């Protein structure tokens, strides 16, 4: 077990190869944190670490993930409020010196970018070479009971080398990760949107089941939807905290789609109390991770299971009997469904 730095609503544990973030569960803890519970972030998934003043007598230690490393942050696309950012650790200002120390130790563990050898202590003979920085944390008494903190305050050493916002000291952009390095929220997952219920089996299929009270006529005519992950190329998550929040699935074929999400059977729309961030964002991240990890092989004809097709035909019959689809629409859609077998 590595050193632990406890903050408000979360604690960071420094392992030899990863930062483990554990979130508290309580009334005041952001709901997204409670859903995530724990995240293991390999050091190679981080781009930089900063320490800045916070609100009302606090400081904020912020581990910034590399682009493309975390499916949760990729799905969020910069829409998360600061208070819900899982990479921020808020501490009282009386622990600022301690936070500076861990900032520097964590920066030393970040992998150097190509061409940045020797910057920020990563080069030969640097003060935090390799993983030795955390070795010094074990068994050496320091303030607040944390090991390895009895030495001189090294806060600001890396700032002088590379600047507070540029841990590599090269001034260049951090290369995006080639694959997700942080595990997505585990499935199966589901949540209620305004116009339907979204479900994901955690591996292969996403389904939308429409609500009579919220779904548009276009969605009712299309019927409940089931999507194979292999048919998808991405997701579009628009936070429910803003107008027109929705979750849209993007098809690989890139065919035409309705402009408005409430008319698109490949999307569910959010509303007051529906599709909340802590429900819909982990869902979107899990689906996105499954899409990226799929083999992207073309879906063979006849890939729909007979049970799924029968269920959609049954639903189509209900719409027909209710007068929501015409005889011609019913016959055409039924033929299309049977052709999928």
Q: Are 144 and 101 in contact (CB under 8 A)?
A: no
Q: Are 311 and 213 in contact (CB under 8 A)?
A: no
Confidence of residue 104 (pLDDT cuts 50, 70, 90): very high
Q: Facing residues of 209 across strands?
A: 197
Nearest-5° Cα angle at 254, 252 to 259: 125
- Give the residue, 306 or 180, on which the prediction is more confident: 180
Q: pLDDT digits over 261-300, tens only?
A: 999 999 999 999 999 999 999 999 999 999 999 844 444 4
Question: Average pLDDT, whole number, for the chain?
Answer: 80
Confidence of residue 308 (pLDDT cuts 50, 70, 90): low
pTM listed for this prediction: 0.71
pLDDT for res 128: 32
Q: Are 229 and 215 in contact (CB under 8 A)?
A: no
CA pair distance 306, 199, nearest whole angstrom:
20
Helix crossing, 327-339 with 306-321: angle to 10°? 180
């Amino acid at each position: 077990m590595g050193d632990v730095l406890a903050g408000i609503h979360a604690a960071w544990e420094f392992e030899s190869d990863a930062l483990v973030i554990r979130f508290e569960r309580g009334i005041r803890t952001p709901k997204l944190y409670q859903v995530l519970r724990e995240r293991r972030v390999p050091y190679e998934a981080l781009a930089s670490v900063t320490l800045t003043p916070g609100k009302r007598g606090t400081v904020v230690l912020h581990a910034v993930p590399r682009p493309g490393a975390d499916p949760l942050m990729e799905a969020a696309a910069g829409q998360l409020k600061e208070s819900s950012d899982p990479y921020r650790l808020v501490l009282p200002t009386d622990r600022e010196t301690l936070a500076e120390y861990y900032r520097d130790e964590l920066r030393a563990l970040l992998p150097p970018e190509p061409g940045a050898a020797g910057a920020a202590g990563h080069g030969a003979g640097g003060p935090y070479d390799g993983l030795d920085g955390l070795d010094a944390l074990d068994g050496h008494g320091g303030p607040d009971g944390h090991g390895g903190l009895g030495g001189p305050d090294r806060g600001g050493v890396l700032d002088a080398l590379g600047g507070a916002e540029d841990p590599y000291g090269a001034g260049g952009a951090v290369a995006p990760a080639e694959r997700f390095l942080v595990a997505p929220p585990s499935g199966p997952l589901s949540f209620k949107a305004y116009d339907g219920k979204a479900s994901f089996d955690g591996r292969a299929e996403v389904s939308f089941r429409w609500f009579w009270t919220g779904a548009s006529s276009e969605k009712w005519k299309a019927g409940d939807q089931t999507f194979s992950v292999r048919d998808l190329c991405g997701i579009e998550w628009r936070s429910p905290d803003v107008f027109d929040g929705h979750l849209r699935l993007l098809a690989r074929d890139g065919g035409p789609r309705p402009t408005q999400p409430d008319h698109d059977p490949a999307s569910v729309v959010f509303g007051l109390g529906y599709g909340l961030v802590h429900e819909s964002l982990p869902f979107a991240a899990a689906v996105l991770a499954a899409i990226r990890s799929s083999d992207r092989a073309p879906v063979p004809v006849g890939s729909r299971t007979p049970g799924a097709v029968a269920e959609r035909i049954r639903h189509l019959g209900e719409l027909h009997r209710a007068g929501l689809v015409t005889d011609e629409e019913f016959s055409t859609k039924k033929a299309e469904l049977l052709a999928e077998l």
